Amino acid sequence: MQELELYGTSACHLCEQAEALLAELLVTELTWRIELIDIADDDDMLERYAVKIPILKDAVDGRELTWPFDVHSVKNFVVQGR
């Protein structure tokens, strides 16, 4: 199982684009699990990621993929972590 986290917040149009892209990938990548994390719920995360979101993070090794990303870059990101 590939554990990923998507850092973002509500009313963020880039975060919505990232969510839509990842939703498309989840149709074929059945071994992936993506947790949506709202940075507004945590002051430390808000300070760290406020101007960087959306961020896709590998939940196991902590690697981060910053926006903008596409299907190809997300798949490469996941493969590099294996």
Of 20, 19, 26, 21, the closest CA to residue 3 belongs to 26
| Nearest alpha-carbon partner for 15 in 52, 57, 44 | 52
* Residue-wise pLDDT tens digits, 9-38: 999 999 999 999 999 999 999 999 999 999
Instruction: Name the 3-class secondary structure at 50.
Output: coil
| CATH 3.40.30.10 applies to domain 2-80 | yes
What count of residues does the chain have? 82
Tokens of 38: 């709202």
Given a contact cutoff of 8 angstroms between Cβ atoms, the answer to whether 33 and 23 are in contact is: no
Q: What three-state secondary structure class fits 77?
A: helix
pLDDT digits (tens, 9 = 90+) for 41-78: 999 999 999 999 999 999 999 999 999 999 999 999 99
